[in-house]
Amino acid sequence: MTGEIGLMIKLFFLMLFAFLLGSIPVGVIIAKTKGVDLKKVGSGNIGATNVLRSLGKFPALLTLIGDVLKGSIAIIMGRYFEMGILYEGFIGLSAILGHNYSIFLGFKGGKGVATSMGVLLFYSPITAFITFIIWVVVVIRTKYSSLGALVSFLLLPIDIYIVDYSDEKLLVASLITVFIVIRHKNNIQRLMKGTERKIGQRA
């Protein structure tokens, strides 16, 4: 019992750390160094796609790297403290939620795509690669980053089931997919109306 309590306390603090780490609005910080309020330009989103539209390729690349690292560091921390595959996934999910609902932005935030990829990069490297390839193919064919995210992450639980199955990983992958769909609700509406901005389109 004492060991279980200690594990839950450790899990709580690691999830809290991951949430705070995920909450760091990398894109907003980078844009601010350029004198731009990222929340007031383009789509208003804090992720790399809006940074690309509003500030260009290099700031977008820095944003992408920063957002990916948030997810990866969360998983690495869980693994370092030997939390096990399920709790490791929960810690990664906390980083995604931190990005999506940043405590530093009044619990508003981004879509969670890059941070989710950062989680998958260490949680399930094979499916991270598959998810990335699907995203690239869809984006190249359609020029819609949001559509690439939706298609690739809707297929994530299937990818996990086929190439890297465990009950724990399937649960975590399914929750990541739910988070992605929820945060892309407005994108789905714009895609259906034909008003969604294409990737690289200037704000």
Instruction: Read off the pLDDT of residues 18-60 as tens digits, 9 standing for 90 and up.
Output: 999 999 999 999 999 989 999 888 778 889 989 988 889 999 9
Triad 174, 9, 5: Cα angle to 5°: 100
The pair of three-digit structure tokens given for residue 87, joined into one six-digit string: 């709790």
pLDDT band at 173 (very low <50, low <70, confident <90, very high): very high
Kindly state the tokens that stand for 172.
């975590």
> Mean pLDDT across the stretch 173-199?
94
Interatomic CA distance for residues 123 and 75, integer angstroms: 7
Q: CA Rg, the chain, in Å?
A: 17
Q: Per-residue pLDDT averaged across 144-169, rounded?
A: 97
Give me the count of residues in the chain. 203
Which residues fall within 8 angstroms of residue 10, CB to CB, at 6 or more apart?
Answer: 81, 83
Q: What average pLDDT does range 64-75 have in this prediction? A: 98
Q: Work out the burial of residue 1: count CB atoms within 10 Å of its CB; fewer than 13 is exposed, 13-18 middle, 19 or more buried.
A: exposed
